[in-house]
Amino acid sequence: MSPRARVLVVDDELEMVKLVADIARDMGHEPTTLTAPLLALPLLEEREFDLVVTDVRMPEMDGIELIEQIARFDPRAAIIAMTAFGSIDTAVRAMRAGAFDYLPKPFQPADMALRMERALGQRAMTVELTELRSEVAHRFSIAGMIGRSRAIEEVIALVRRVADNPATVLVSGPSGSGKELVARALHGESRRRGRKFVAVNCAAIPEALIEAELFGVRKGAYTDARSDRPGMFQEADGGTLFLDEVSELALPLQAKLLRALQEREVRPVGSVSSEPVDVRVIAATNRDLRAAVAERAFREDLFYRLAVIEIAIPPLKHRTDDIVPLAEHFLARAAANAGKPIAGFSGAALKRLLAYDWPGNVRELENAIERAAALCDGGRISPDDLPEGVRARRGAPDFLEAAADRLMTLDELQREYAQIVLRRAGGKKQRAAALLGVDRRTLQRWFGGGGDGEEGA
């Protein structure tokens, strides 16, 4: 017997939803019933279901279309299609739409119970396989570079190929995309991994101090120089120096950096001689350095010296396949740090994560998941745990937001939606019924009254 599962039953026949709900309840599961299929997706927006049992022929909505939308919305949910109009063609259409199984009406309760058990078992295997793949991907990822998109796979492959090459590397990508992770991966996969990895943010150090920070300073070079002090190049000797935001270096210092890279030696501030250094330099920028060269804001010779090997990281919104594995990784770490047994994300929360553009890229995603883990008081992250900008229902009709605020019943929501369509149809019930995918009698049952007068009975 499968563990207690959440089952959604959708059928326009009240007796049928009661029957299937009773079967699910007898199996130890938690059923929820709907006789209005138009409300299935708004409900799935708020709650996660392990199994959906839905009719195929319903007056308000085509069950095949509902199955397709559920499969897109939450591919982890198992779906069983049922209909009194059984045929091979209908079964094939339902399975292609995303249903796990198909059951013609009338059916024996034992037959439905068996199919529900099989569907839930298959779902459990799918979830376990997904988690296993995520664990394996993490285990074999490089220095925390997690993802399954083609773009990140190509970055990881390139990192492995060039890690031991002594050539300088230029890593480009928007802020928060993980440029330092790539630099650390290059260091960690190289023969230099036993020596220091030194990171410096060129934009965070005042222009007057950056030369001394990079190349060191001799005693007496200026008033506060009371002793010799090595710079970042000397500190990273034998290892790797990561120059983040290298585009922010002033032109005079760019010339000195170019000399250090060419001659493999540095001259500390206040010194009359140079010191040899053995450093592998990795630079990073969120700017287009080629454009900066064209604008004479960056030296062309330094650009080509830095960009012997180029690695570009696309923004997170262009590699949506990485959002879920990254979110799961961040959640596992945040939950462990908070001491909370958080199992994962609800289907609605995952939809919000996938719909958001993530202008702050991986860093913003990490912060959002840490916040969600801190606020979560249930077994899974829900949309309410996410930051306001992430959980906003992009593209959701305004009336759904208002309905949620007013805590409307499903029956009230159904009627209000139909009223909106009726108004847009110019008050003509025949046309409104066609737009809603219901028959005219259904509208009359909802609103009462007879014909439109304009379109006849």
Q: Which residue has the higher pLDDT, 230 or 132?
A: 230
Verify that 289 and 159 share a domain, yes or no: yes
pLDDT of residue 71: 79
Q: Is the pLDDT of residue 133 over 80?
A: no
Select from 93, 86, 103 the least CA-distant residue to 20: 103
pLDDT of residue 135: 52
Write out 113-153 in H/E/C secondary structure: HHHHHHHHHHHHHHHHHHHHHHHHHHHCCECCECCCCHHHH
Does the residue 66 lie in any domain? yes
Q: CB-based contacts of 443: which residues, under 8 Å, 6+ apart?
A: 418, 422, 429, 432, 433, 436
- Left if phi > 0, otherwise alpha if psi is -120 to 50, otherwise beta: which for 34? beta
* Domain boundary pick from 391, 420, 438: 391
Does the residue 61 lie in any domain? yes
Verify that 131 and 227 share a domain, yes or no: no
- Residues 296-332: tens digit of each pLDDT: 999 999 999 999 999 999 999 888 889 988 999 899 8
**Looking at residue 283, which CATH number applies to its domain?**
3.40.50.300
Residue with tokens 């935001």: 245
Q: Is the pLDDT of residue 2 over 70?
A: no
pLDDT of residue 96: 85
- Indicate yes or no: pTM above 0.75: no
Mean pLDDT in residue range 436-457: 62
**Looking at residue 56, which CATH number applies to its domain?**
3.40.50.2300
Contact 70, 40 (CB under 8 A): yes
Q: CB-based contacts of 98: which residues, under 8 Å, 6+ apart?
A: 67, 68, 70, 71, 72, 75, 79
Mean pLDDT in residue range 168-188: 92
Does the residue 454 lie in any domain? no
Q: Is the pLDDT of residue 128 over 90?
A: no
Does the residue 429 lie in any domain? yes
Tell me how many domains the chain contains. Answer: 4
Mean pLDDT in residue range 114-138: 72
Verify that 301 and 209 share a domain, yes or no: yes
**How deeply is 343 buried, as exposed, middle or buried, from its count of CB atoms within 10 A (0-12, 13-18, 19+)?**
exposed
- Residues 394-411: tens digit of each pLDDT: 444 445 655 665 666 777
Does the residue 144 lie in any domain? no
Q: Which residues pair with 381 in a beta bridge?
A: 345
Pure H helices in 220-322: 232-235, 251-263, 289-294, 300-306
Between CA 371 and CA 366 the distance in angstroms is: 9
Mean pLDDT in residue range 189-198: 91
Point out the least confidently predicted range of 212-221, 250-259, 290-299. Answer: 212-221
Read off the pLDDT band of 454 (50, 70, 90).
very low
Verify that 88 and 117 share a domain, yes or no: yes
Verify that 301 and 329 share a domain, yes or no: no
Q: Which residue has the higher pLDDT, 30 or 74?
A: 30
Mean of all residue pLDDT scores within the chain: 84
Verify that 231 and 270 share a domain, yes or no: yes
The whole domain housing 300 covers 150-314
Select from 116, 54, 106 the least CA-distant residue to 82: 54
Verify that 164 and 191 share a domain, yes or no: yes
Mean pLDDT in residue range 83-93: 74
Mean pLDDT in residue range 13-22: 92
* Domain boundary pick from 79, 103, 136: 136
Read off the pLDDT band of 172 (50, 70, 90).
very high
Q: Is the pLDDT of residue 6 over 80?
A: yes
- Residues 19-58: tens digit of each pLDDT: 999 999 999 999 999 988 888 878 877 778 889 999 988 8
Verify that 289 and 343 share a domain, yes or no: no
Mean pLDDT in residue range 192-220: 89
Between CA 347 and CA 324 the distance in angstroms is: 11
Give backbone dihedrals phi and psi of 153, rounded to 5 degrees, phi first. -65, -40
Does the residue 402 lie in any domain? no
Verify that 274 and 369 share a domain, yes or no: no
Which helix (H) or strand (E) segment holds residue 353: the answer is helix 347-355
* Domain boundary pick from 256, 279, 314: 314
Verify that 333 and 360 share a domain, yes or no: yes
- Left if phi > 0, otherwise alpha if psi is -120 to 50, otherwise beta: which for 244? beta
Verify that 170 and 125 share a domain, yes or no: no
Does the residue 106 lie in any domain? yes
Does the residue 126 lie in any domain? yes
Contact 285, 247 (CB under 8 A): yes
Verify that 275 and 417 share a domain, yes or no: no
